[in-house]
Structure 1
């Protein structure tokens, strides 16, 4: 299992458009992927799951990846958080 914390740097937070891109990215891998904010953990397979976290700029979220291709999945999602969210 791989876990990593990310700071949401986009002022708008993680809204519908980047959430859709994140779901598409996560679905490319066999590993189970989740986001955790505080005590709430959601799977990266549904827009409603992600939006229910109400991630705003300045929030910290924990990525959890577990499965056979977890290293590759975690690396791809790390790139998403560092590049795509920064460019919003």
Structure 2
């Protein structure tokens, strides 16, 4: 199992378009991936749009990503990129 704490730096936080891109990215990997606020034990499945948006993560807040599987490190790298890419750049992708 791998874990990583990431500071979200999208204007909308983990809502709307960034959350959609996040879930699409999760679906590209075989690993089981979960997410929580960095300071919380409330962990949700990273592939659940409802779960992710229920966390209410805003710009500048930290999240903890947890991935377990053969492609866990690659999944964490890709998800960190989504969480630290400005929203305007996500829309261009």
Q: TM-score, normalised by structure 1?
A: 0.86
What are the Cα deviations for residues 21-43 of structure 1, in whole angstroms up to 9, with x where unaligned? 11111111100111111121001
Q: TM-score, normalised by structure 2?
A: 0.82
CA RMSD between the two structures: 1.8
Q: 1:83 aligns with which of 74, 82, 85?
A: 85
Is 2:23–2:49's contact at 8 Å kept on the other side of the alignment?
yes
Q: Show structure 1 runs of 4+ deviating over 3 A.
A: 84-88
**Matched positions, count:** 88
Gaps of at least 5 residues in structure 2 are none
Structure 1 residues 84 and 66, CA gap change in structure 2 (3 angstroms): farther
Gaps of at least 5 residues in structure 1 are none
The alpha-carbon deviation at position 86 of structure 1 amounts to 8.0
